[in-house]
């Protein structure tokens, strides 16, 4: 197959005309990253059928973990069909938590699942949206890089997607690129991804691409038996798109019966040993073991003709998973937010608490506190917080729920309840302290009240002239310094410099720092001098655990390396409970 590469824009007019003519003669359009070699990196593609919400991200990351245990370097990528350039402006009710990578990319929550499971930091190359792809297409068209061609979904959009996949393979040096396609087969918004992957399989050649279909096995209560027809019809759509799955993962409440697996095997041309059950389990951390028991990794290695490398060290993960369900003591941590109806809005916080609970040998139960209910019904925080052992006020934006959060902060401070304020929770702690300790009754943040006489929280200087919302905040991993002889210093094991991830526009107003300190508040974490006087951690020394962080510590918590702030929050909550 002849490959047409994009020309340089400064070529002579005659040369451009010749290439344009050449392009008229051929339909192949496959821009390749420099130095790319077919077959060096393999691709495993996970596509959903029947319905969304089956846990493709959890399944894909578990599959990646299993392949890691075979000594292979796996790098994931999530393909989203929406036209947003990133996830930054999405409402959590629409799409769950916005996860932030170290390089500042605001992305889908599934990338958080990949980072936690694969124990590795990802980059913006592991996340693409249709908006990103189309933006690149439009930019190239305006520059004349398509040389008079009518720009089309095929071959130009599909070519751009294939280039992105191969570029990730080239830059990462991965043995396997794990591709998760958002949505389900049949969705209009991901059809160009499906077509691109069909072409990728055609171009890369035999044994270089493996397709896994994640499907749903229905079991209506009125029938009491598993039905395979929805799964058959869903996979048929995949076949109609020109993709023959190599494996079929059957999501079901109970283990998928052999009879159902036989039906799916017959109707999808997939051998029985490659149709396996992905039934509900007690914990997602045991899924890699479940996949290993049905030899999914062996089948994939056989399909891709990959020899096992020296086995990676997986005993730590198994040791972690073995601790699940063996905790007799329980502690209750309240999460006071305004998106409590959708748990995915706080996915990373939930996972960080799980990691901290296992580290402390306890089960962490979450009490969801709707701060808008406190505002709307004028409920006293005592009615909702009386039974908790610790409190988290998470990040967020906007006016709704702010007064409810401030009321919760006050209750935690005055009643010595272990408290962790994250991002907005850090700012709400400043406002509460200013109002009730400094005596500044009208203290507020300029995000909510532009005319407040006491703007203890104000916009960052670097944000004042920014007009757009998407991708314009103070984002990603940044270094910060820790004050010696502070609680934060002890929590971070005596480190004077750490790195955490940020997502904010507002900060503690530097004009009020001394006033806070005069009343006992300690700012134990702060930005490097070259970034300005930005406070990153606050704490109260006369409290068992009262800490606010401008950063999001939940984004860096991993099963095998739980985030220290969450570990100490849970440990202090245990002491409080007694």
Q: Structural domain boundaries of the chain? A: 42-308, 328-577
Coil vs helix vs strand at 34: coil
* pLDDT at position 26: 66
User: What pLDDT shows up at residue 378?
Assistant: 65
The pLDDT value given to residue 24: 53
User: What is the per-residue pLDDT for 11?
Assistant: 45
Task: Express each pLDDT in 367-379 by its tens digit.
Answer: 999 998 888 776 6
The pLDDT of residue 498 is above 70: yes
Residue among 552, 381, 365 nearest 477 (CA): 552
What secondary structure does DSSP assign to 220-249, as a single string? -TTT-S-B-HHHHHHHHHHHHTT---SEEE
List 74, 423, 458, 508, catalytic entry: 423
Model pLDDT, residue 6: 43
Is 175 in contact with 41 (CB distance < 8 Å)? yes
Is residue 423 annotated as part of the catalytic site, yes or no? yes
In the set 164, 246, 504, 552, the catalytic residue is 552
pLDDT higher than threshold 70 for residue 458: yes
Kindly indicate the confidence band of residue 316, based on its pLDDT and cuts at 50, 70 and 90: confident
pLDDT band at 21 (very low <50, low <70, confident <90, very high): very low
Cα three-residue angle 73-77-81, rounded to 5 degrees = 165
Catalytic: 552?
A: yes
User: What's the rounded Cα separation, in Å, for the pair 135 and 157?
Assistant: 10
Give the residue-averaged pLDDT of 472-488. Answer: 93
> Could you report the per-residue pLDDT of 129-170, keeping only the tens digit for each?
999 999 999 999 999 888 778 899 999 999 999 999 999 999
Peptide bond into 155 cis (omega under 30): yes
Homologous superfamily in CATH for domain 42-308 = P-loop containing nucleotide triphosphate hydrolases (3.40.50.300)
pLDDT at position 313 is: 56
CA distance 91 to 98: 9
- Please write the tens of the pLDDT for every residue from 58-116: 999 999 999 999 999 999 999 999 999 989 888 887 778 999 999 999 999 999 999 99
- Whether residue 205 contacts residue 38, with contact meaning beta carbons closer than 8 Å, is answered with yes
Residue 397: per-residue pLDDT:
86
The pLDDT of residue 2 is above 70: no
Provide CB contacts within 8 A for 308, sequence distance 6+: 70, 71, 301
**pLDDT value at residue 166:** 97
Nearest by Cα to 247 from 55, 72, 63: 63
Which DSSP letter does residue 282 get?
Answer: S
pLDDT at 460 over 70: yes
How far apart CA 409 and CA 396 sit, in angstroms, is: 15
Tokens at residue 88, please? Answer: 């930054």
Average pLDDT over residues 246-255: 95
Please report which helix (H) or strand (E) contains residue 105, including its range. none
Instruction: Inform me whether the pLDDT recorded for 10 exceeds 50.
Output: no
pLDDT-based confidence at 57, cuts 50/70/90?
very high
- Residue that wins the pLDDT comparison between 455 and 382: 455
Q: Which fold has domain 328-577?
A: Rossmann fold (3.40.50)
Q: What mean pLDDT is predicted for residues 220-249? A: 93
Of 106, 432, 500, 554, the active-site residue reads 554
Judge if 42-308 and 328-577 fold alike in CATH terms: yes
Assess whether pLDDT exceeds 50 at residue 446.
yes
Give the whole-angstrom CA distance, residue 89 versus residue 189.
19
Q: Which two tokens stand for residue 482?
A: 């820790």
Based on the residue annotation, tell me whether 458 is a catalytic residue of this protein. Answer: no
Neighbouring C-beta atoms of residue 484, cutoff 10 Å: 11
The pLDDT of residue 385: 87
> What predicted TM-score, i.e. pTM, was given to this entire model?
0.90
CA nearest to 448, candidates 427, 420, 472: 427
Q: Is the pLDDT of residue 15 over 80?
A: no
């Amino acid at each position: 197959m002849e490959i047409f590469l994009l020309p340089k824009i400064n070529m002579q007019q005659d040369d451009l005309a010749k290439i344009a003519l050449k392009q008229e003669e051929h339909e192949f359009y496959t821009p390749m990253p420099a130095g790319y070699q077919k077959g060096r990196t393999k691709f495993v593609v996970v596509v959903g059928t029947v319905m969304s919400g089956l846990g493709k991200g959890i399944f894909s990351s578990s599959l990646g973990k299993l392949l890691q245990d075979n000594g292979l370097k796996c790098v994931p990528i999530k393909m989203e069909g929406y036209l947003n350039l990133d996830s930054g402006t999405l409402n959590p009710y629409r799409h769950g938590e916005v996860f932030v990578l170290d390089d500042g990319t605001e992305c889908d929550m599934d990338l958080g699942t990949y980072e936690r499971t694969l124990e590795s930091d990802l980059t913006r190359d592991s996340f693409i949206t249709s908006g990103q792809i189309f933006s690149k297409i439009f930019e190239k068209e305006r520059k004349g890089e398509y040389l008079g061609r009518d720009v089309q979904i095929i071959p130009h959009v599909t070519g751009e997607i294939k280039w992105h996949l191969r570029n990730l393979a080239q830059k990462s040096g991965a043995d396997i690129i794990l591709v998760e396609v958002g949505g389900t087969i049949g969705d209009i918004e991901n059809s160009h991804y499906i077509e691109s992957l069909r072409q990728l399989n055609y171009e890369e050649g035999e044994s270089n691409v493996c397709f896994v279909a994640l499907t749903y096995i229905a079991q209506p209560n009125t029938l009491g038996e598993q039905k395979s027809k929805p799964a058959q019809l869903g996979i048929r759509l995949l076949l109609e798109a020109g993709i023959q799955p190599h494996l079929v993962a059957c999501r079901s409440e109970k283990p998928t019966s052999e009879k159902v697996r036989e039906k799916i095997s017959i109707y999808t041309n997939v051998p029985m040993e490659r149709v396996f059950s992905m039934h509900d389990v007690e914990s997602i951390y045991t899924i890699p073991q479940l996949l290993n028991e049905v030899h999914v990794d062996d089948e994939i290695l056989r399909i891709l003709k990959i020899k096992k490398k020296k086995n990676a060290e997986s005993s730590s993960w198994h040791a972690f998973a073995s601790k699940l369900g063996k905790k007799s003591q329980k502690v209750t941590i309240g999460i006071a937010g305004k998106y409590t109806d959708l748990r995915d809005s706080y996915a990373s916080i939930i996972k960080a608490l799980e990691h901290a609970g296992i580290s402390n040998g306890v089960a962490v139960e979450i009490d969801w506190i709707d701060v808008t209910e406190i505002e709307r019904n004028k409920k006293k925080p005592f009615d909702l917080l009386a039974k908790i052992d610790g409190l988290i006020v998470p990040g967020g934006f906007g006016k709704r729920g702010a007064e409810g959060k401030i009321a919760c902060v006050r209750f935690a401070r005055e009643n010595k309840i272990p408290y962790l304020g994250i991002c907005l929770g850090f700012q709400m702690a400043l406002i509460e302290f200013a109002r009730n300790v400094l005596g500044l009754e009208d203290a507020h943040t300029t995000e909510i009240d532009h005319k407040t006489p006491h703007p203890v929280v104000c916009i960052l200087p670097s944000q004042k002239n920014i007009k757009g919302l998407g991708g314009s905040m103070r984002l990603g991993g940044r270094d910060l310094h820790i004050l010696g002889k502070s609680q934060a210093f002890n929590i971070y094991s005596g480190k004077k410099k750490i790195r955490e991830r940020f997502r904010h526009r507002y900060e503690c107003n530097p004009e009020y720092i001394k006033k806070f300190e005069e009343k006992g508040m300690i700012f134990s974490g702060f930005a490097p001098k070259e970034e300005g006087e930005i406070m990153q951690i606050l704490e109260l020394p006369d409290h068992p655990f009262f800490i606010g962080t401008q950063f999001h510590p939940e984004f860096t918590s991993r099963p095998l390396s739980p985030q220290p702030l969450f570990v100490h929050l849970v440990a202090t909550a245990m002491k409080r409970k007694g």
